[in-house]
Amino acid sequence: MRTNRAPIIGIDLGTTNSSAAMVEPNGKVKLIPYKGGDFSIPSIFAVDDKGNELVGHEAKRQWQLNPRNTIYASKRLIGRTYRSDVVSQMGRQVAYGIHEAGGEVEIDVAARSFRMSEIAAKILGKIRGVAQDYVQMPVERAVVTVPAYFTDSQRQAVKEAGELIGLEVVRIINEPTAAALAYGVGKKLQERVLIYDLGGGTFDVSIIEIRDRVYEVKATGGDVFLGGLDFDQAMISHVINEFYDRHGIDLSTDPVAMQRIKDLAERTKIDLSTRNDAPFNIPFIAMTPHGKPLNIEMSFDRRLLEELTADLLDRTLQTVARVMIDAGLSVRDIDEILLVGGQTRMPLIVDRLSRYFGKAPSKGVHPDEAVAIGAALYAHSLEDDTDLKLQLLDVIPMAIGLERAGGAMHVIFPRNAAIPNAKVLPVTTSFAGQTEVMVRLFQGDAERVADNELLGEFTFGGIQPGAAGSARVEITFDVGIEGILRASARDVVTGREITSSLRVSGR
């Protein structure tokens, strides 16, 4: 090592799998291997029947027999309020229990409760442990990637997960941006690239202009409830409906049967990326009322999979079209299309994008490795002794604003506003003797705040009491390079900084 301190590592904290990478002393970027040669770790946490906590491959191995105490796809829940539509959808799809605690989501595991940032901390801790085994020294710092479409609350929850295990998350960067770094660093490019990132649980599209070491995001968009898991779910629903039509038995009420179907659906989907058909057989999946064992005996072909998931693919292309409009670009302005995420191996995705853009996507990045590698390159650029200097110019994925009278959204930062960014908002008191001002902040692109995500409430105290409207306060809202919002306030008359506190909804 160049120093006695471990390098800052890059972590791709994925919905289904996570990985890490680092730049070695020789300047080469490398994925950090796990024992057995794997470079990815399943983003799964479990507690077994003896009370042991399991993470990664160990948790996945016992998933079929212990579905209620095995937590997967938790990234979809992190930083969300319990009343979120995403939480209710997840509650219908998973075997583990989800409940509300102080407005936030908690998960039931073996008679214990875990907050979402605690689950993320377990996964980050496993990744760090693997990295420490590799570098043979403590790993204390990391750059962690998140979907470009993550809200402020979700980004803060990832930061908190690092804090829980003493891992300094020195920077959060967006997954498509990391993939662009993996593609472009060291090539002296002058290109506009579109990153189509369809992972296990989330979908992002970003258009990034690369000017050698400057990476400027022109526009971004996405869907945090669209990914490979939803393609699996389409297959699962088909299998359950077919079995019910044939036998009159609803397998969705049996967690162990559902887990067996989920496992085979994922494997079959992967097989259909390289072959045209595949058997779908599960023995002894249920029993008749007379005690006769029943099997699932059917097959999938590629065309059936494409029919079942056509609406999901259409949703991704609608997002592509919207991001192109936001960026003010035509298909001729895009030099390369980069595919990121395991679901992009589906041949129809490559075919549809090729037809949309009039050219095939680039093979310049590995769909499973690019995000971790890009994170590691950016981490290396933050080191004190580095010769790699990178500049990221990113954007806010969704508008941030506050509630106006009548429930309308007053936008402070519009969608795709450049970050870092700051805005000053003048406010005053509305009644005599008022000593504090409270504003409710939301994130989303809907016109009414009720249809957007509540980020939290900022309360500013210490105002000199007086008549209504007598106070003159300036609130500064500052979105940093990581897309995380901070606020401060100043009394214009006295120049005194006013204390501010943030109560983030669901955290």
- R_g of the chain computed on alpha carbons: 24
Q: Which of 485, 484, 481, 196 is nearest to 362 (CA)?
A: 196
For the chain, how many residues are written? 507
**154-177 per-residue burial string, b: 16 or more CB within 10 A, e: under 16:** bbbbbbbbbeeeebebbbbbbbbb
For residue 315, give the nearest of 222, 428, 398 by alpha carbon.
222
Q: How far does CA 368 lie from the centroid of its chain?
A: 15
Amino acid letter at 156? Q
Among this protein's residues, is 75 annotated catalytic?
yes
CA angle, 359 then 397 then 197, to 5°: 35
Residue 432 DSSP one-character state: T
Structure tokens at 340: 């990121």
Which entry of 104, 106, 160, 175 is annotated as an active-site residue? Answer: 175
Q: Which amino acid is at 205?
A: V
482 has catalytic annotation = no
My answer on whether omega of the bond before 279 falls inside 30° of 0, hence cis, is: no
Spatial neighbors of 98 by CB under 8 A, at least 6 apart, are 77, 82, 87, 90, 91, 105, 106, 107, 108
CB 195 within 8 A of CB 176: yes
CA angle 440, 442, 446 (to 5 degrees): 135
From the candidates 75, 122, 126, 262, give the one annotated as an active-site residue: 75
Specify the pairing of strand 277-287 against strand 293-301.
Answer: antiparallel
Measured from the Cβ of residue 331, the count of other Cβ atoms closer than 10 Å reads: 13
- CA 319, CA 409: separation in Å to the nearest integer? 23
The answer to whether 371 and 12 are in contact (CB under 8 A) is: yes
Rounded to whole angstroms, the Cα distance separating 56 from 122 reads 10
* Amino acid (one-letter) located at 146: V
How far apart are the C-alpha atoms of 253 and 250, rounded to whole Å? 6
Q: Is 36 left (phi over 0), alpha (psi -120 to 50) or beta?
A: left
In eight-state DSSP terms, residue 444 is S
The type of residue at 31 is L
Q: How far apart are CA 222 and CA 135, in angstroms?
A: 36
Contact, 116 vs 73, CB < 8 A?
no
Q: Residue 276 carries which DSSP code?
A: S
| From 104, 106, 152, 197, the catalytic residue | 197
**Residues designated as active site:** 12, 75, 175, 197
